[in-house]
Every structure is written in C-alpha cells, then in structure tokens.
C-alpha cells in the first residue's frame, strides 16, 4: 500500500510537468511560469523498493535505496542482522538495477524496455544529469549561429521523458504487477485530480468481504496521512544523532583496556 501511494503521488506530480519546465530549469530562463511542478518533483526525491520497482516507480525506488545507503543507516548493524535473508536478497537485486557503473547502464536498459508501455516514473537525478550533459557538453552558439542540433537533442530527451506519463496508471494493473497485494480499498480510493489515475477495469477480480475492505480502507487513509505529514530529515548531523539514539556506539576492546590501565 505504501509503494502504491508513493507511486500514485509521484506520478500525479510527474504527469503535470510541462515540457517547457525542463527547458526553463536547464537554461535558467526564469520565465514567468517557471518550473514549479518540476521543482516539486525534485523535492519528492528527498521525501521517499521492491514494490516500487514492480510498479515501475523508479524515482521512489532510487530515493529509498539512497536513504538505505546513508552511513547513518549502514552503521545500524544490530538492526540489519534482524532483516530476513529474503529481503536482503531483494535489496541486493534492486541495488544491481541502480548500479552507477557504466553510466547506470542496467537501469537505462530496463527503462528502455518498460518505457514502451507507459506509465513509468523515471529517476529524476538521471534525467537532470542527461539534460545537463547535453546542455553543458554542447555550445548553444557556433560562429554566432544558433546550434539547432543541440536544441533538437534536448527536445528529443524532453519528449522521451514526457512520453512516460502519456498514459494514466490503471490501478487494477498495479494490483496485478504487485501480485495482488494492493487492496480492493485502494482500488476504489482514487482521489487524484486531473485524470492521472484510471478507474478499475471490471471483471476477473474477486471482491473481498466488506469488513476486510473497510479495514484496508482505514489502513490506506493512515498511509496517506503519514505520507502527507512526513517530516524530511536532510541534515546529516541530525541523521547521525537519530542513528546513535537507536544504536549507541560501542566502545572498542582497546579503549576498554586503556581505561582499565
């Protein structure tokens, strides 16, 4: 349910980004409209795995992986020891997908495969990197003439990104991709505006008992409320403090011996 909510929220913002926002942000044009939705999409990355991958929400997936790779999280050895081997293997599988080597070739190959059937929520830092490389790696003017080849290259990249949001999320398809882990309650709780989420297709799905649907609806509301009120901790010192509150640093053997001396 959390992965589904992250996906729907991310896609609602991603689908609302105007193509001109990428250009405005890249060239720092500071136009009247600006790039408000693109900036909001960038902020989302700092607020958000496996289920996200299955739902093709690579932005939240990458954000979660980045958070788990923080030193403040990696040092929690006692906590990691309690994680099931099954989930450690799932984590390693996702880590391979976002391997930064060879310009994230594995992720790019996977994205090329799934992008044939939108919707997909791509990793924003990769989009930003590619656009910046195209911009800074090519002159805007050549002999005082506009470099239209550069502009065509950037326009092609923007069109490719915009195409990923050309179709709405079909919530019943989300349920199928996640192994039907998404509840019936979520299927009926489409509260997003602007047609970014399609309604459930009829037929082929067994409706759960009303009591269970009601309980799941309460859980969905709690997840939404939690995500809406989520406090983002972007201070490394604050993360370290919280980490040491959970698992205080143990004194090494040598330090204890020196204290005894």
Asked if 83 and 74 count as a contact pair (C-beta separation under 8 A), the reply is no
Q: Which of 13-27, 102-116, 188-202 has the lowest mean pLDDT?
A: 188-202
User: Which has more confidence, 18 or 3?
Assistant: 18
Kindly state the tokens that stand for 158. 């923007």
**pLDDT of res. 260:** 45
Q: How confident is the model at residue 180 (pLDDT cuts 50, 70, 90)?
A: low
Phi, psi of 147 (to 5 degrees): -85, 85
Q: Name the residue ranges covered by the structural domains of the chain.
A: 2-260
Give percent above pLDDT 70 in the chain.
80
Kindly state the tokens that stand for 143. 């002999």
Per-residue pLDDT for 255 more than 80?
A: no
Asked if 179 and 170 count as a contact pair (C-beta separation under 8 A), the reply is no
**pLDDT of res. 93:** 94
pLDDT single digits (tens) 40-97: 998 887 665 778 888 899 999 999 999 999 999 999 999 999 999 999 999 999 999 9
Pairing assessment for the beta strands 197-198 and 169-170 based on DSSP bridges: parallel
For residue 117, which of 153, 158, 82, 168 has the smallest C-alpha distance?
A: 168
Question: According to CATH, what is the number of the domain 2-260?
Answer: 1.10.840.10
pTM score, two decimals?
0.80
d(CA 136, CA 222): 45
Name every residue whose Cβ is closer than 8 Å to that of residue 167 and which is 6 or more positions away in sequence: 118, 119
Omega cis (within 30) before 21: no
pLDDT single digits (tens) 192-245: 444 555 544 444 445 567 777 777 777 778 888 888 888 888 899 999 999 999
User: Which has more confidence, 28 or 179?
Assistant: 28
The enclosing H or E element of 170 equals strand 169-170
Asked if 62 and 123 count as a contact pair (C-beta separation under 8 A), the reply is yes
Per DSSP, 116 falls in state T
For residue 27, which of 138, 165, 163 has the smallest C-alpha distance?
A: 138
The enclosing H or E element of 73 equals helix 71-74
**pLDDT of res. 256:** 43
d(CA 8, CA 239): 28
Structural Rg of the chain based on CA atoms: 22
């Amino acid at each position: 349910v959390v992965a589904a909510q992250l996906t729907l929220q991310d896609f609602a913002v991603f689908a609302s980004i105007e193509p001109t926002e990428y250009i405005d942000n890249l060239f720092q044009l500071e136009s009247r409209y600006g790039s408000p939705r693109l900036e909001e999409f960038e902020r989302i990355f700092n607020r958000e795995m496996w289920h996200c991958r299955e739902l093709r929400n690579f932005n939240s997936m990458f954000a979660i992986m980045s958070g788990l790779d923080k030193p403040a999280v990696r040092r929690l050895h006692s906590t990691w020891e309690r994680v099931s081997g099954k989930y450690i293997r799932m984590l390693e599988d996702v880590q391979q997908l976002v391997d930064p080597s060879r310009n994230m070739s594995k992720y790019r190959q996977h994205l090329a495969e799934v992008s044939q059937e939108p919707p997909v929520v791509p990793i924003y830092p990769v989009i930003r990197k590619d656009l910046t490389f195209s911009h800074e790696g090519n002159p805007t003017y050549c002999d005082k003439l506009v470099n239209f080849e550069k502009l065509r290259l950037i326009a092609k990249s923007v069109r490719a990104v915009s195409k990923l949001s050309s179709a709405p999320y079909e919530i019943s398809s989300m349920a199928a991709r996640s192994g039907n882990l998404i509840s019936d309650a979520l299927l009926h709780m489409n509260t997003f505006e602007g047609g970014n989420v399609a309604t459930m297709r009829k037929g082929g799905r067994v409706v759960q008992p009303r009591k269970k649907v009601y309980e799941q609806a309460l859980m969905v509301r709690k997840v939404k409320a939690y995500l809406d009120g989520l406090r983002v901790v972007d201070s490394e010192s604050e993360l370290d403090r919280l980490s040491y509150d959970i698992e205080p640093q143990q004194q090494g053997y040598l330090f204890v011996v020196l204290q005894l001396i």
